Amino acid sequence: MINEIDEIDDGSGGGPGGPGRRAVVLAAAGAAGAALGLSACDSGGGSASRPRADAEPSGAGSPTPAGSAVHRENALPGSPDWRITGTGPEEAVQGYTDKVSVLPGESFALHVSTTAPGFTVSAYRVGWYGGAQARLVWRSGRRPGRLQPAPAVEGSTRTVRAHWEPGLSVRTDGWPAGAYLLRLDAENHGQRYVPLIVRSASAEGRTLLMHGAATWQAYNTWGGYSLYQGPSGSYSSRALAVSFDRPYPDSGAEKFLVYERALVVLAERLGIPLAYTTGIDVHTGPGILRGATALLSLGHDEYWSPQQRAAVTRARDAGSNIAFLGANTCFRRVRFEDGGRTVVCYKTDYRADPAYQQNRPLTTTDFRFGPAADPESSLTGVLYEGYPTDAPYVVHAADHWLFAGTGVQAGHSFAHLVGVEYDRVTPGSPTPQPIEVLAHSPLECNGSSSHSDSAYYTVKGGAGVFASGTMRWVEGLMAGGRDDGGDHGMDARTGRFVTTVTENLLRAFAQGPAAVHRPAPRDNLAEVYA
């Protein structure tokens, strides 16, 4: 059933690029590695047999909890027509919301520009829904269209803001928490998405999905500037701060669609208790992590504030399991301004950041570099190393409980699953121990040989922490299916493997501190990096 929500008319009518995006990443990583004592790339060794994954892990085959809110929501009819069929020219229709996320029942404003005389808005909640993958929760009536003015580029930070008038205000009464795609349908046949998270008020007793909105914005080139490049494509002309007050390019939601959607669908299919938030909301309201059984960081979650990282670390130490289902996670240290509407990251120009003179620990650069160097590996267990690569994923500790039901043996591989960025366990860097390397995948990146690692560790508070070590993990969930899109050549066998491992992970982590009910990691770091 579509909720009939009121709308308020305001009366107005109507990639990567540049050397900053790691064109010479391995050289930079090598310099960082030397400072951290990183070892050279190694081919690794074999894995000793350990008869603990022959049987289904407890809970892995447990039925979907029929009484859960997620199960009840996904029992509703889905809407297979949620997909965009044609975007048309950029100016055909595009929009943005005035809030990255809202609580259920709160309002948000939608700012739309279109060359069409009118448009409609449809709100689709992403989930399982019997395979339909989304449900229509709300639809507007016809809205008058108008072409909004060109954006402004502000100050020395080269920040693009659209400054568009709002076209409508929408109340979210009756909208369940979750990840939403607002689809704009213009009368000129142009279509665009606008992403919105309806966040949960609490994650106690639930698995919390933390959407990487700051990373979505960092790569946003709309208006000519991202944190990677300016209009010429050069790194030197990039923005130093980017604003959510502008649309996203292409479909309007590419980062979510590629790196997050498939995980949302899988988690909802399992029926485990779920909650939803963004990294920005963890920064402003870390209490959302209190009592969470697990936290999921999705496929590309690069930009974190120090406050967000500290909150996640505290949650881990208190017993919340964490899964890093991507690579290059928690790599950039950022600052949020304008109530979370602006993401600031000076990167290599960190000395020009006002914080460098005023509050050095908040200087925006890479976490592993000073001032206040704090490599991400102390939390994730792995360290980002390079871009780009394309390599097979090679199983190492085949008897680990995460691989139960996959039938893999040590040395089995899955083509193209490692890429386009990768992480590895780096002896000599701040790395929690004991830590177990589960997959150890040889690769080439920018002419140098190295490895990508999947790894698992536990802490005294009981939490288990898993890192996939590859940015394509969530994409792998779609491999070989009708919805695979840009699957990089990954086949259906890879899709089945990634799906089974992820199911094992989510079901186990949803049971509470993994160190309590799953075997402890067998530290094999010396064996792998002899």
Q: Give the residue among 207, 325, 321, 318 at the shortest CA–CA distance from 259.
A: 325
Q: What is the pLDDT of residue 480?
A: 83
Residue 38 lies in a domain: no
Q: What is the pLDDT of residue 54?
A: 33
DSSP per-residue string spanning 239-287: -SEEESSS--STTS-HHHHHHTHHHHHHHHHHT--EEEEEHHHHHH-GG
Tokens of 41: 């790339």
DSSP H or E stretch at residue 27? helix 25-36
Give pLDDT tens digits along the chain (530 positions).
Answer: 333 333 323 333 333 333 343 433 443 444 334 333 333 333 233 333 333 333 333 334 444 455 578 889 999 999 999 999 999 999 999 999 999 999 999 999 999 999 999 999 999 999 999 999 999 999 999 999 999 999 999 999 999 999 999 999 999 999 999 999 999 999 999 999 999 999 999 999 999 999 999 999 999 999 999 999 999 999 999 999 999 999 999 999 999 999 999 999 999 999 999 999 999 999 999 999 999 999 999 999 999 999 999 999 999 999 999 999 999 999 999 999 999 999 999 999 999 999 999 999 999 999 999 998 999 999 999 999 999 999 999 999 999 999 999 999 999 999 999 999 999 999 989 999 999 999 999 999 999 999 999 999 999 999 999 999 999 999 999 998 756 456 799 999 999 999 999 999 999 999 999 999 999 999 999 999 98
261 lies in some domain: no
Sole residue written with tokens 């059933």:
1
Model pTM score: 0.89
Q: Where are the beta strands (DSSP E) in 151-271?
A: 152-154, 159-161, 168-171, 178-186, 191-198, 207-211, 241-243
Query: Measured between alpha carbons, how far is 151 from 202 in angstroms, rounded to an integer?
Result: 37
Query: 127, 134 in Cβ contact below 8 A?
Result: yes
- Give the amino acid at 268: E
Nearest Cα neighbor of 514 from 447, 462, 438 is 462
What pLDDT score was predicted for residue 483? 63
Asked, for residue 524, whether it belongs to a domain, the answer is yes
**Is position 252 within any domain?**
no
Q: For residue 483, what is the DSSP state?
A: T
Residue 197: inside a domain: no
- Give the integer Cα–Cα distance in Å for 77 and 325: 29
Distance separating alpha carbons of residues 209 and 274, to the nearest angstrom = 7
In a domain, 138, yes or no: no
Per-residue buried b or exposed e for 431-463, using 16+ beta carbons within 10 Å of the residue's own CB: bbeebbbbbbbbbebbebebbbbbbbbbbeebb
Does residue 404 sit within a domain? yes
Cα torsion 502, 526, 389, 247: sign: positive
Residue 477 is assigned to a structural domain of this protein: yes
Count: domains in the chain: 1
User: Burial level of 509, CB count in 10 A (0-12/13-18/19+)?
Assistant: buried
pLDDT in the model for residue 37: 34
CATH of the domain at 394: 3.40.50
Amino acid of residue 229:
Q
User: What Å distances lie between residue 30 and 178, 347, 361, 384, 454, CA to CA?
Assistant: 40, 17, 24, 11, 20
- In eight-state DSSP terms, residue 517 is H
Domain hosting 456: range is 306-331+376-530
- Both tokens of 151, joined, read 């954006």
pLDDT at 91: 97
CB atoms within 10 A of CB 296: 27
